[in-house]
Amino acid sequence: MALVVCKMCKRAFIDEARGKEICPECVARLNELYPVVRNFLRNHDRQIFTTHEVSKILGLNLKDVDGLVAMGLIACQPRGKAPQ
């Protein structure tokens, strides 16, 4: 067990599994947002988006989209990197 600061919300939480960097509340929120982002990307599969573009188009917090990328759930271009 370790006291860890969540990389998303900066709140402290007890990491019982060791190795978690995101608190359970943020993980739950990201799990709810995942289908929305996944469906958007699937519906626009011929385009490449930055995390900033996805967050802006869908009206989501940029940190949440970055969190989905960090968890390996979606693939987007990093912020500020234009698709080639």
> How many domains does the structure of the chain reveal?
1
Position 21 in a domain: no
Range of the domain at 46: 28-84
Between CA 16 and CA 61 the distance in angstroms is 27
Place 78 in a pLDDT band, splitting at 50, 70 and 90: low
Average pLDDT over residues 59-65: 94
Position 12 in a domain: no
Cβ-in-10-Å burial (0-12, 13-18, 19+) of 51 comes to buried
Position 68 in a domain: yes
The predicted model scores a pTM of: 0.78
pLDDT, residue 80, reads 55
Position 18 in a domain: no
pLDDT in tens, 1-47: 789 999 999 999 998 877 788 899 999 999 999 999 999 999 998 88
Position 60 in a domain: yes
pLDDT, residue 48, reads 86
Position 1 in a domain: no
Position 80 in a domain: yes
Position 49 in a domain: yes
